[in-house]
Amino acid sequence: MRLKRSIMCGALRASHTGQEVTVCGWVQTIREIGGLVFIDLRDREGTVQLVFDKEVIPKLHEQAKRLAREWVIGARGKVSKRSERQVNKNLPTGEVEVIVSDLEIHNSAETPPIEVRDDVEANSDIRLTYRYVDLRRPKMQHIFQVRHKLAKAARDYFDAQGFLEIETPLLTKPTPEGARDFLVPSRHYPGSFYALPQSPQIFKQILMMSGFDKYFQIARNFRDEDKRADRQPEHTQIDVELSFVEPADVQKVIEGLIAHVMKAVMGVEVKLPLPHMSYAEATASYGIDRPDLRFGMQLVDLSEIVKDCGFGVFADTVKSGKAVKALLLPGGHEKISKGQFKNLEADAKGRGAKGLAFIRYTADGVDSPIAKFIGEAHMAKIKEKTGANAGDMLIFVADHARLASQILGAYRNQFGAEFGLIQKEGFRYLWVDDFPQFAYDEEKNEIVPEHHPFVMPKNEDAFMAFAEEFKRNDRKANPRIVDLALAVTATQYDIIVNGIELGSGSQRIVKPSVQNAMFDCLGMTREQANAKFGFLLEALKYGAPPMAGIGMGVDRWMMALFGIDNIQEVVVFPKHANARGMMDGSPSPAEEAQLKELGIALREEK
């Protein structure tokens, strides 16, 4: 390399005027005007205009004419202040230009399949295949610069708080998160497999038992589950664990982290402490355990009002212990056409509801097929309770409270996005806590876990009572047992921002007796538990401190910071919907010799 870079293209300002500089980068555009050639040269900090004048150095001008987009060059020259008329106000470097006196061409480039411009959005398949071109776009460069800042800010913060960054293994035993594992075959032990960690959960707990006291790690987690807009088979977590603490202590640390990161990365002040909401309130009022607080439209429970109204469907639903819930969409009468409502209803049925009911509030009254059954007195109460006005639309689901809330919660989010009801500016962080420890699966008639098996119940006594009863009844669910199980609250807490679940943590079980009781409740025999987590149970015997922690999803945090709804935008080399790496073509078949070494024979596809 003949020309050594002295400054970044995007860094040049009027203050550099007169200096001799060397810049390197990719050719963004070429503009040839008679005997002048202008080239915008781009690096990660921005672009600057290079000038080649035929009358000054004819040979250079000739060379410059032959350049093309995305060629990689170095250029040496004098920084010249542009005249008043020539300033480009759209560019940070627009007050100056480099009058080139020497040029080095590092590489030519074929015309790229996509243009390197922020205002050209190509399809995701081509963007992922030619990711290195896509990533040159200023928008993408910015995202990953911010991602770096986020990680740096987090490290600075934890360091200042006395945390140690400690790496845990990637080749491990399966972890208890419940998702499908990625397996890595062992050469030394044919037939045995490592699992890539779904999280460093067990290892960080053992680090606490090892006396490290405050741990964090920016860790990659792997889950072999189908992709979604906010999921990748591998994602990054800021993983945290502390000894001798309770949930409130962890939350305080994380609130400090959020405030620090938001300030350092976004220049945003976050007011502390963050608000809390119970799981029960979140699901009842927002129909989801990660409420987006950037807009209102809470769900309303009308069960009390309609339980004795004349509309049989509503009244009977309430009498059978279920609920009638409603969502008020302001201006919904105009916004939701008859056809759209039919689609909604079909969707609701797909989610398990019997149907949807509605009341449209018009200028002269109501438009609703159920109004005549409900009766005027009850209609008035509904209007009062929901605060409906002319032009609004009320949508009802009558079903299990949970299902009704779920469906209306989904519509709340859908309407919020579709009708621009969401306040785009700002970040609404909150904690959701008091999650149930268990759920009841009606179909299987089973008590099922809501979390991984190391989450400490909030009310240990209630848990142990349930565990005893459960064991005595030979681990069969019956109404009494179900009630006992559902009464157990977990120490689980989630941190939410703008409807995105950023992180999740809990107090950990550290008493062997409680841990064993938990395995019992999850239908895991002592042998099974030992086979899977024996090393953790063994470690618990030798002195485990009280501990709690959390894992914060870096990718999702990035999505929230940018208001991006696709995780692929914030991951440099993401996998596509069926987990293929489109650029490298992974996964790919293994060599026969490799398989043989691993003791693996492939089964014929049927």
Footprint of RNA (CB under 7 A): 29, 31-36, 38, 40, 49, 51, 53-55, 68-69, 82, 85-88, 90-91, 94, 97, 111, 113-115, 119-126, 128, 177-180, 198-199, 221, 223, 225-231, 235, 289, 451, 492, 494, 501, 503-504, 551, 553, 566, 568, 576-578, 580, 582
Q: Which is nearer to RNA, 177 or 469 (CB)?
A: 177
Q: Phi and psi (nearest 5°) for 448?
A: -120, 150
- CB-based contact 492:527 (threshold 8 Å): no
Residue 30 CB, nearest approach to RNA (Å): 8
- What is the end-to-end Cα distance of the chain in Å, rounded? 56
Q: How far is the CB of 478 from RNA (least distance, A)?
A: 23
Q: Shortest Cβ distance from residue 126 to RNA (Å)?
A: 5
Q: Which is nearer to RNA, 364 or 605 (CB)?
A: 605
**Tokens describing residue 461:** 């006594």
Q: Shortest distance, CB of residue 384 to RNA, whole angstroms?
A: 33
Cα pseudo-dihedral 151, 153, 154, 157, rounded to 10: 160
- CA–centroid distance for 469 within its chain: 39
- How far apart are CB 449 and RNA at their closest, in Å? 10
> Considering beta carbons, is residue 14 or 380 the nearer one to RNA?
14
Q: In the complex with RNA, which residue's Cβ is closer, 143 or 379?
A: 143
Nearer to RNA, 29 or 186 (CB): 29
Q: How far is the CB of 553 from RNA (least distance, A)?
A: 6
Q: Tell me whether residue 521 or residue 554 sits nearer to RNA (CB atom).
A: 554
> Residues near 427 by Cβ (< 8 Å), separated by ≥ 6?
262, 268, 270, 497, 498, 560, 561
Q: Give the type of residue at 188.
A: H
Residue 102 beta carbon to RNA: minimum distance, rounded to whole angstroms: 18
Residue closer to RNA by CB (options 373, 562) is 562
CB of 1 to RNA, least distance (A): 25
In angstroms, the CA 551 to CA 298 distance is 29
Comparison of 274 and 374: residue with beta carbon closer to RNA: 274
Q: How far apart are CA 581 and CA 55, in angstroms?
A: 50
Q: 547 and 482 in contact (C-beta within 8 Å)?
A: no
d(CA 174, CA 380): 57
Contacts of 306 (CB under 8 A, 6+ apart): 314, 315, 318, 324, 374, 378, 382
**8 A C-beta contact, residue 568 and residue 128:** yes
Instruction: Copy the structure tokens of residue 194.
Output: 């490592």
Place of tokens 């009310």: 459
**153: helix, coil or strand?**
helix
DSSP code string of 315-379? HHHHHTT-EEEEEEETTHHHHS-HHHHHHHHHHHHHTT-S--EEEEEETTEEE-TTHHHH-HHHH
Judged by beta carbon, residue 302 or residue 558, the one nearer RNA is 558
Q: Which two tokens stand for residue 192?
A: 């045995």
Minimum distance between the CB of residue 502 and RNA, rounded to whole angstroms?
A: 9
Closest CA to 394 of 259, 299, 309, 268: 299
- Closest approach, Cβ 276 to RNA, in A, equals 15
Least distance in angstroms from the C-beta of 473 to RNA: 25
Nearer to RNA, 120 or 363 (CB): 120
Sign of the C-alpha dihedral, residues 245, 246, 247, 252?
negative
DSSP state of 248: H
Query: Which CB sits closer to RNA, 170 or 465?
Result: 170
Rank residues 311 and 499 by Cβ distance to RNA and give the closer one. Answer: 499
Residue pointed to by tokens 């040269």: 41
E-state strands within 110-213: 164-165, 183-185, 193-195
Instruction: Report the distance separating Cα 117 and Cα 136, nearest Å.
Output: 8
Q: What's phi and psi for 214, nearest 5 deg? A: -135, 115
Helix spans in 15-115 (H): 58-66
CB of 222 to RNA, least distance (A): 10
Output b/e per residue, 239-257; b: 16+ Cβ within 10 A: bbbbbebebeebbebbbbb
| Minimum CB–partner distance for residue 302 and RNA (Å) | 25
Q: Which residue has the tokens 């909150």?
A: 430
Residue of 324, 358, 352, 321 whose CA lies nearest to 338: 358
> Nearer to RNA by C-beta: 31 or 511?
31
Q: Residue 272 or 448: which CB sits closer to RNA?
A: 448
CB of 336 to RNA, least distance (A): 18
Which CB sits closer to RNA, 382 or 407? 407
- Give the bridge partners for 549, in sequence order: 241, 506
At 302, the amino acid letter reads L
**How many Cβ atoms are within 10 Å of 490's Cβ, its own excluded?**
23
Q: Which amino acid is at 192?
A: S
Min separation Cβ 427 and RNA, Å: 19
